[in-house]
Amino acid sequence: MRNFVILAFSLLSLLMSVSCARYDRDVRMALQCAGENRGELEKVLEHYSQDKADAQKLEAAMYLIGNMTYHRSYPAALYGRYCREVDSLFLCRDTSDAAVRKLEDISGRYVPDMIPVPDVRAVTADYLIWNIDYSFRQWETSPFLQHLDFSQFCEYVLPYKCVDYQPMSRWKEEYSGIGRGEMDAFRQFSELRHNAGKAVETSQSEIRDSLWFAWRSADCIPLLDFVPLCHLPFGTCIEYSVLGLLNSRSKGLPVSMDMIPSWPDRNGIHHWNNVLTEMRRNIDFVPFENNPWDSHYADKPLAKVYRYRFNPNKDFLEALRKEGRLYGNLNNIFLHDVTGEYCKTADVMLELGPASKGASYAYVCVFDNYVWTPVALSRIRRGKVNFRDLGVGVVYLPVVYMDGVQVPAGNPFLLDTRRRKVDIDIDHRHSIDMKLYRKYPAFSHIYHVRDNLHGGRIEAADNPAFKDARTMAEFPYDHFLANEVEIPDTTAFRFWRLVGTDAGPSDFAELYFYGRNGGKRVSGKIMSPDFPMQNPLYDNPSNLCDGDALTNFRTEGVMRWAGFDFGKPLSIGEVSYIRRGDGSDICPGCHYEFYYWDSGKWRLHGMQTAENVYLEFHDVPSGGLYLLKCPANGARQRIFIYENGEQVWY
């Protein structure tokens, strides 16, 4: 793509001498790039130039041809054979590793010959005229397109492909009758007659029932055809979104595909669909997973949102021409910024540091658990850069790229929810102490299991039957994360146990006892009454002391409890616990590394092996951006600031 786009730009100088002022510069460039296929494009233009009644169709033709220069397509015949072979593999609906490898093997055989061809050099006049005429008929006859103006028609209906590399075929016509649901019956009802969102819902419901989908990725030639995507047994949000786009647009429904290059509070790219409604705001949804108007990450922060369009993003094109490439998940010239449709935004003007000298463009990044990932770019002018429409509630870092290497060009900053830019600059003159309980924020899925996190208590006795047991501590009913409770009673007992409450079941992942003298962690032999196992894998009393915060034990009343025999009477001063959760609480026995951001890099402040469900670090430079890692315990790690004795995550 890079070389092809740069070649297209090099032709611009030649076009200045073209005397024909009949078409705009983009159309003239397409004609020049078409080479021997130029005649096919000219036939289309001449076809719609003969009748003034076709003036709007001529404009549509110029829109397609003018933006066609940057598009490429897989060879239709070869791609068709690839899809048929892949589809035969999918009929067994196998989601195993072996099935993924088979798909990758099939793809590998086709890769050498699956060379995308520039559309301007492959499209035929007959195909382009058919697409234009068919699209206008959709616009004229579909009740769900009547609210579109011409520019929206060009974006949502006219393009002959949904995404780049999609082969040129009559997919709009071929798939128009599949999975229509009740949308044709909507004409009978006034409030549904033009309801595009409701039409999308019924159109995808019929297809959803036949989908068999496991979330996993494969390294293969992308699937851009309706049939194999309907049978796909595994994939990601990108496959779902492409299928949703093909399905909707083939039925004359104004749907787009949107994406974020990275979440600002966790890792990962995400794609989904969006429907252009008649009277209310546009509605985003994950196709075949939820419907328009259902919740789609409504409470998640967004840094940048982009929409795939047929016309290229001119700012991205210019950056590609000047710097030779685009970075991160912004390496697609058809992405257009629509962040303002989704969230509260603000413009941020930055004065860049000396590291930016020599660069033409700066990027602003968010942290993705590992590295800083670009989410927007902007032109540098006199050492300053203006980033427009950044989502609020997000920490950003400005960077430039030198010889392909990312170089920080300023301090990280928080764009808070009141649209204020707050610089985050480490202060070595003032130090603080920190008490850290987690390396990753607690998301709502933990809260959603709160019905299984009812209180609980610690009892002690001098006999294994716990006759006349004494209550030594009670766990707070509404605390769902790791914590510790003090044991005020100094009496020494040999037998200690975790007991549930009458309020309901209570799930614990780990339980730790600390002696009163010196506070050292002590271990005992696990014991429990006989009771039927509900789930032997995740409902074993030994899970409480296996060092794995992702396994748990469920207590229920006095019938299902877990006890510890310490071999001799002990006076326990504290009991710490990790509740059922995501495994990101501080886990005793695990090794942690604590960093702060300073002068464009992460600097190690200290390392600890946890002795409790928290870590304590002293003499930490204040006011900075921090990161806690546990190399042996997963990749979940997030940046945070420290305010009022608490970690504030970003």
Quick: pLDDT tens for 280-323. Answer: 778 899 888 888 878 788 789 999 999 999 999 999 999 999 99
Categorize the per-residue pLDDT at 3 as very low, low, confident or very high, splitting at 50, 70 and 90.
Answer: low
Task: Give the range with max mean pLDDT: 16-20, 453-457, 607-611.
Answer: 607-611
As a whole number of angstroms, the distance between CA 383 and CA 629 comes to 35
Record the tokens describing residue 482, joined without a space.
């790791």
Dihedral angle over CA of 343, 272, 115, 34, nearest 10: -60
Helix or strand or coil: residue 100?
helix
Q: What is the pLDDT of residue 20?
A: 46
Q: Is the pLDDT score of 11 beyond 60? A: no
- Mean pLDDT, residues 547-554 taken together: 92
Helix or strand or coil: residue 598?
strand
Q: Is the pLDDT score of 189 beyond 50? A: yes
At 282, the amino acid letter reads N
Sequence ranges of the domains in the chain: 2-308, 314-423, 431-441+587-649, 444-579
Residue with tokens 């032999």: 525
Query: Could you report the per-residue pLDDT of 60-106, keeping only the tens digit for each?
Result: 999 999 999 999 999 999 999 999 999 998 888 888 889 999 999 99
Domain covering 314-423 in this structure, CATH number: 2.60.40
Categorize the per-residue pLDDT at 15 as very low, low, confident or very high, splitting at 50, 70 and 90.
Answer: very low
- Mean pLDDT, residues 568-575 taken together: 97
Instruction: Quickly list DSSP for 407-453.
Output: EE-S--EEE-TTS-EEE---EEEEEEEEEE-BSS---HHHHTTGGGB
Helix or strand or coil: residue 419?
coil
Task: Give the range with max mean pLDDT: 330-334, 448-452, 480-484.
Answer: 330-334
Categorize the per-residue pLDDT at 545 as very low, low, confident or very high, splitting at 50, 70 and 90.
Answer: very high
Categorize the per-residue pLDDT at 367 as very low, low, confident or very high, splitting at 50, 70 and 90.
Answer: very high
Q: What is the pLDDT of residue 279?
A: 75
The sign one gets for the Cα dihedral 416, 294, 260, 214 is positive
Query: Could you report the per-residue pLDDT of 123-167, keeping only the tens digit for each?
Result: 999 999 999 999 999 999 999 999 999 999 999 999 999 999 999
Q: Is the pLDDT score of 264 beyond 70? A: yes
Residue ranges of alpha helices (H) inside 362-415 are none
- The pTM (predicted TM-score) of the whole model is 0.90
